[in-house]
Amino acid sequence: MPNIDYIWKELEDDYRKILTPPSFNAWIEQAKPISLVNNLLTIEVPSNLHKEYWEKNLAAKIVETGFKLTGEEVTPVFILENEKKEPEKKPDPIQSELPDIVKQNSKKALLNSKYTFDTFVIGKGNQMAHAAALVVSEDPGATYNPLFFYGGVGLGKTHLMHAIGHQMLTNQPDAKIKYVTSESFANDFINSIQNRTSESFRQEYRSVDLLLVDDIQFFADKEGTQEEFFHTFNTLYNEGRQIVLTSDRLPNEIPKLQERLVSRFAWGLSVDITPPDLETRIAILRKRANAEGLEIPDDTLSYIAGQIDSNIRELEGALVRVQAYATMNGNDISTSLAADALKSLKPAKLKSELSILLIQEEVCKYYHLQLKDLKGKKRVKSIVVPRQIAMYLSRELTDNSLPKIGAEFGGKDHTTVIHAHEKIQQLLDNDPTIQKEVGELKNILIS
Ligand SMILES: Nc1ncnc2c1ncn2[C@@H]1O[C@H](COP(=O)(O)OP(=O)(O)OP(=O)(O)O)[C@@H](O)[C@H]1O
């Protein structure tokens, strides 16, 4: 009888032939053969979702390959992973480029080309969310509808959402996909009423194959928008179109979210994403460093990963900071350089300690501007970008409402603040200078 390692290796080869790389990473790499006793092959998997998927879609192959190799009937048994087990280091999957047609359609759907399954590192806190995302992207509208991701800031909810979009476009290049934040949905809706274009608004949102709505906690308090979203949801759902939503908390914890929406969101699957453990954080940094062609020793990556333990956006910011520091000083990246670069990252100030005025003053100092210009109406780029950054930081680092922030910037409308926030968020994804400047300002403000 061939031993378990040999059988598993053969099985891996078989699965590699029939699964896409993201599927292989999600299902096969996350599973572990435990024992082969009396023809029972026990396999450990990370979650119930994995178990169900294996039983439904992958187990038959085990029986087939098992028979081929042993001449006997091998029966797979799936058990759930022991919570206390240390995660294993996995090699980085090879990054693959998206085909051109997918790139074009992704752009149309406002998907960030960096947020794919290939660039996503699977760890304990997100493996179930990743697996659910993959199922939905392979078979949209069929299994988990809606799919609802919830969890803290900067943990990869948006990334997974976009990855679903890219993957669906890879399988179905003409699929109609729309990604919006809940605020953009609300704005589009309000504009459609003002401009009497409600019909085309409806047509736009109700004809997609996949609707991705980010941060739906901002639906709270928006009665009319919720009403409209309810109808959008119903139309898409009834036609078997996939809906994916994210929020920082569960639907029933979102204040003032209509009960009928809460109950509809519960029809599908809600999965939380929790902060990554140290190994996952190191793997994320390593992947990022590899993608940017940076040479960083392992102990330095561990050091950086040890400094920031809850928010991946900040973890990436720390890497950018270390990189900038090395470039500025003309040195290679090392642990002592990283320690110098990050030494001002002290525990964050409480949100309540920071005021909009303090943010405005620091932004003015940083960009050598007058406060009256920052709060004024001048539209030159050298003022507009700092103004947008100051609005962005006021939104991110304080608990002030959008109208209050708008008011503090010379009586601007709250939609201007939303626009500024979205603009800077986009630039943070693509523009290293803005990443560096916003990172430095954040450090000044919270240290
Ligand atoms: N598992 C992961 N692997 C690689 N990169 C990740 C992972 N999780 C998050 N990131 C990166 O961290 C950053 C923040 O992620 P993302 O914007 O998806 O977070 P989020 O949960 O949507 O946050 P928010 O609540 O602020 O909207 C992104 O640059 C994303 O690519």
Q: Which of 390-412 are b and which e, b meaning 16 or more Cβ less than 10 Å from the residue's Cβ?
A: bbbbbbbbbebebeebbbbbeeb
Residue 94 has pLDDT above 50, yes or no: no
| Residue 125 assigned ligand-binding role | no
Domains of the chain with bracketed CATH: 4-80 (3.30.300.180), 100-272 (3.40.50.300), 278-343 (1.10.8.60), 356-446 (1.10.1750.10)
Ligand 1 atom nearest to 130, measured from its CA: 1
Residues 323-343 have a mean pLDDT of 88
Local confidence band at 349 (pLDDT 50, 70, 90 cut-offs): low
d(CA 273, CA 332): 34
User: Measured between alpha carbons, how far is residue 289 from residues 235, 272, 294, 297, 337 in Å?
Assistant: 43, 27, 5, 10, 16
Give the atom of ligand 1 at the shortest distance from the alpha carbon of 126: 1
158 labelled binding-site residue: yes
pLDDT over 90 percentage in the chain:
60
pLDDT of amino acid 4: 87
Instruction: Specify the pLDDT at position 36.
Output: 84
- On whether 66 is known to bind a ligand per the annotation, the reply is no
Is residue 90 pLDDT above 70, yes or no? no
Model pLDDT, residue 33: 92
Which ligand 1 atom sits closest to the C-alpha of 429? Answer: 29
156 annotated to bind ligand: yes
Residue 345 has pLDDT above 70, yes or no: no
Tell which one of 159, 166, 180, 216 to mutate to probe ligand 1, the residue whose CB is within 8 A of the most ligand atoms: 159
- Which of 290, 312, 427 for a ligand 1 pocket mutation test, highest count of atoms within 8 Å of Cβ? 312
CA of 59 to the centre of ligand 1 (A): 32
- Return d(Cα 298, Cα 302) in angstroms, integer: 6
Q: Which residues line ligand 1 (CB under 6 A)?
A: 115, 119-121, 126, 153-159, 215, 248, 284, 312-313, 316
ipTM: 0.98
- Closest atom of ligand 1 to 114 CA is 31
CA of 188 to the centre of ligand 1 (A): 25
The DSSP letter of residue 26 is I
CB-based contact 35:26 (threshold 8 Å): no
Residue nearest to atom 5 of ligand 1 (CA): 120
Q: Which atom of ligand 1 is nearest to the CA of 273?
A: 21
Q: What's the pLDDT score for residue 382? A: 94
**Cα 403 to averaged position of ligand 1 atoms, centre (Å):** 27
Tens digits of residue pLDDT in 376-414: 999 999 999 999 999 999 998 887 888 899 999 999 999
- For the segment 293-315, the average pLDDT, to the nearest whole number, is 90
Residue 350 confidence class, pLDDT cut points 50, 70, 90: low
Whether omega for the bond prior to residue 146 falls within 30 degrees of 0, making it cis, is yes
| CB-side neighbour CA atoms (13 Å) of 142 | 7
Count helices and strands (H / E) in the chain: 21, 8
57-66, 160-169, 187-196, 349-358: least confidently modelled range: 349-358
Q: Which of 313, 429, 435 to mutate to test the pocket of ligand 1 (most atoms within 8 A of CB)?
A: 313
pLDDT at 229 over 80: yes
What is the model's pLDDT at position 445?
85
Mean pLDDT of 288-317: 90
Minimal-distance CA residue to ligand 1 atom 29:
313
Cut 0.95: pTM above it: no
